């Protein structure tokens, strides 16, 4: 493309021009149009590939700036919604360095307290649509009739709408009370969108044979059609025998409740918590049956057929799917894979899985954002809960965990109620931060994370309860309901600031790690990393890492992220590069801490392992 300026474009906005045509608009640093062309959809991957190859590397930012230590290319792709634009590029073997996701950014800016004039953003309601996976949208399109009934609502993908929204967002950030924090948050959120798409494209290496073995061991051999496995049927027979009811329906809560009561088990529900309070001989096998039923329904053979193909498990991640900024999943249940199934994660031959999770991420984030040096010292270079014991604040590690979680979530009863005051006296800055956030919530206010993600305001039901309690004829019951609602909102805002900030740290970790892994050399088709060729031509550790074809054209020959869960990542890497990938994970964690919190005396230690299978089982 011939640019109208000597300097490279700062942003490149993609959007629909018309049917089967894509518009590409280059903007300079001030947001002015530099150039605009139209391409056929089929031409877009090669265009993006060429543009990425042209992007020069720049020097790291100077001293005193927040810097992740990775290169920052001058061009940033602007997507209406990353799941719309990026998967086709990945399928064509094209990856990009960075992007700005308009949908993700809109959700943050429309609510953030840092935005001085959010009204133009909020007025653009078309951008409030939820993310839509392509497969979901295509399925819905099969049923489109009369004025689009049945269509899945999506954000606008046309170029004019994208340019208008990008202009609104630039203005919102530039006029914000702290634009630096918001820019960092939007960059991290958008990088998360890229990571989510890339992890789905690459997939989690999955051992189907091992998975079937685990299910068979837990449930019995796979039944025909929709029947129940043999072990599950045997446990059901034990329950019916103990109840003295050969026809008890264990899958219908109402009928099961009737059978329980007929057997003299007086419970109000079939929840495991209530059932566990009875010592009747039917309870133990019933709880076992319920566990088996959950496993079969959520992660049984039907799940395997739907979500695992060609040795890869490909869930659908939703970055920012939780109001705190944590991720959700809209398909495949990646955030709820039972630990008993983790052994099914298995690296390809000649490759390794490097798994790492952060110890006590949320309390460490709290120590950093509150500036509580005593709390930071308790966990520096060690397990934070053990640090509390060594400091004499609590007697055992179990008590330390209860106390910290109670402080984060606002528990005030039982053992937690007795332990939290000890934290308040030893860590006053940290406790002041969460106590203040809770008080704001109780009054109906909103709070923000370290980088500026803001909590939703209480809904109309909450407002109605408070108004009822303020009436001159309010009853004691009205006042009690209002206090309960206020307390719940206070516990929500108390945790929001910490969980949301921890999620921001995790996004920075992902973004930095993604860049570091991309800089590792790809393995050639003979299995040797290009910069690790022993003199005799043999693989570095005696094992050749063949290209992982099932990971797709972008990731078949290089280390890449395959799994993320709040404070845990898993990387799939050639065996010769496993140690380098592990070091990249560690370095990215340290970099994320500096990026968010500067030189605060808080570290984020990792529990890291390397193997053919993940050790997190």
pLDDT digits (tens, 9 = 90+) for 346-374: 999 999 999 999 999 999 999 999 999 99
3-state secondary structure of 574: strand
At residue 334, the pLDDT reads 87
Return phi, psi of residue 115, to 5°. -80, 120
At residue 616, the pLDDT reads 52
135 or 30, higher pLDDT? 30
pLDDT digits (tens, 9 = 90+) for 602-616: 999 999 999 998 865
At residue 66, the pLDDT reads 43
Radius of gyration of the chain from its Cα atoms, rounded to whole angstroms: 27
pLDDT digits (tens, 9 = 90+) for 493-533: 999 999 999 999 999 999 999 999 999 999 887 655 554 44
At residue 64, the pLDDT reads 37
3-state secondary structure of 321: coil
Residue 113 scores a pLDDT above 90: yes
Q: If pLDDT is split at 50, 70 and 90, which confidence band does 433 have?
A: very high
* CATH no. of 347-360+502-611: 3.30.70
Residue 408 scores a pLDDT above 80: yes
**Cβ contacts of residue 242 below 8 Å, gap of 6+?**
263, 280, 281, 282, 285
Q: Are 500 and 446 in contact (CB under 8 A)?
A: no
3-state secondary structure of 72: coil
pLDDT digits (tens, 9 = 90+) for 63-109: 333 444 444 455 799 999 999 999 999 999 999 999 999 999 999 99
Lowest pLDDT segment from 35-44, 180-189, 269-278 = 269-278
The CATH class of the 361-500 domain is mainly alpha
User: Span 332-339, mean pLDDT?
Assistant: 87
Q: If pLDDT is split at 50, 70 and 90, which confidence band does 133 have?
A: low
pLDDT digits (tens, 9 = 90+) for 1-22: 333 444 567 899 999 998 889 9
At residue 543, the pLDDT reads 60
388 or 536, higher pLDDT? 388
Query: In this structure, what token pair is assigned to residue 101?
Result: 């996701």
pLDDT digits (tens, 9 = 90+) for 199-225: 999 999 999 999 999 999 999 999 988
Beta strands in 6-67 (DSSP E): 11-18, 21-27, 33-40
102 or 147, higher pLDDT? 102
578 or 56, higher pLDDT? 578
Full 3-state SS string of 342-411:
HHHEECCCCEEEEEEEECCHHHHHHHHHHCCHHHHHHHCCCCHHHHHHHCCCCCCHHHHHHHHHHHHHCC
């Amino acid at each position: 493309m011939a640019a109208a300026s000597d300097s490279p474009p700062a942003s490149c906005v993609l959007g629909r021009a018309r049917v089967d045509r894509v518009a590409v608009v280059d903007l300079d640093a001030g947001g002015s149009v530099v150039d605009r062309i139209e391409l056929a959809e089929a031409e877009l991957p090669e265009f993006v590939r060429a543009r990425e190859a042209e992007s020069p590397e720049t020097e790291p930012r100077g001293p005193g700036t927040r810097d992740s230590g990775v290169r920052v290319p001058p061009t940033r792709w602007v997507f209406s919604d990353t799941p719309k634009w990026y998967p086709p590029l990945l399928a064509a073997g094209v990856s990009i360095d960075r992007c700005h996701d308009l949908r993700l950014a809109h959700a943050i800016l429309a609510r953030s307290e840092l935005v001085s004039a959010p009204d133009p953003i909020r007025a653009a309601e078309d951008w409030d649509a939820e993310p839509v996976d392509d497969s979901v949208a295509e399925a819905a399109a099969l049923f489109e009739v009369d004025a689009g009934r049945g269509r899945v609502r999506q954000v606008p993908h046309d170029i004019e709408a994208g340019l208008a929204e990008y202009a609104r967002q630039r203005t919102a950030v530039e006029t914000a009370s702290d634009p630096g924090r918001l820019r960092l948050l939007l960059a991290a959120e958008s990088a998360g969108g890229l990571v989510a798409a890339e992890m789905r494209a690459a997939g989690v290496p999955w051992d189907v044979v091992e998975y079937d073995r685990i299910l068979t061991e837990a449930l019995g051999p796979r039944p025909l059609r929709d029947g129940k496995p043999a072990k599950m049927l045997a446990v059901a027979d034990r329950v019916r025998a103990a109840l003295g009811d050969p026809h008890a329906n264990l899958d219908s809560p109402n009928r099961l409740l009737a059978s329980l009561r007929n057997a003299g088990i007086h419970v109000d529900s079939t929840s495991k918590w209530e059932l566990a309070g009875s010592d009747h001989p039917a309870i133990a096998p019933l709880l076992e049956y319920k566990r088996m039923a959950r496993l079969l329904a959520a992660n049984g053979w039907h799940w395997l057929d739907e979500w695992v193909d060609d040795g890869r498990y490909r869930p659908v991640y939703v970055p920012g799917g939780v109001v705190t900024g944590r991720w959700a999943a809209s398909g495949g249940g990646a955030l709820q894979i039972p630990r008993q199934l983790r052994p099914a994660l298995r690296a390809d031959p000649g490759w390794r899985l490097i798994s790492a999770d952060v110890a006590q991420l949320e309390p460490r984030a709290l120590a950093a954002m509150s500036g509580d040096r005593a709390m930071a010292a308790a966990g520096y270079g060690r397990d934070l809960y053990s640090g509390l014991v060594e400091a004499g604040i609590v007697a055992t590690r179990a008590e330390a965990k209860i106390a910290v979680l109670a402080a984060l979530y606002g528990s005030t009863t039982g053992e937690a109620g007795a332990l939290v005051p000890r934290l308040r006296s030893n860590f006053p800055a940290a406790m002041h931060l969460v106590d203040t956030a809770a008080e704001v919530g109780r009054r109906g206010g909103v709070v923000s994370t370290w980088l500026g993600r803001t909590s939703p305001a209480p809904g109309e039901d909450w407002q109605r309860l408070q108004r009822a309690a303020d009436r001159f004829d309010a009853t004691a019951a009205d006042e009690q309901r209002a206090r309960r609602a206020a307390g719940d909102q206070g516990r929500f805002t108390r945790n929001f600031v910490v969980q949301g900030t921890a999620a921001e740290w995790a996004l920075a970790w992902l973004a930095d790690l993604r860049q570091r892994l991309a800089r590792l050399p790809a393995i050639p088709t003979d299995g040797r990393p290009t910069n690790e060729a022993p003199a005799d031509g043999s693989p570095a550790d005696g094992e050749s890492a063949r290209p992982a074809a099932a990971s797709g054209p972008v990731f078949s020959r290089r280390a890449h992220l395959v799994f993320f869960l709040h404070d845990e990542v898993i990387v799939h890497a050639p065996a010769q590069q496993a140690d380098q990938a592990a070091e990249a994970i560690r370095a990215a964690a340290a970099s994320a801490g500096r990026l968010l919190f500067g030189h605060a005396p808080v570290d984020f230690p990792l529990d890291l392992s390397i193997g053919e299978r993940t050790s997190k089982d």
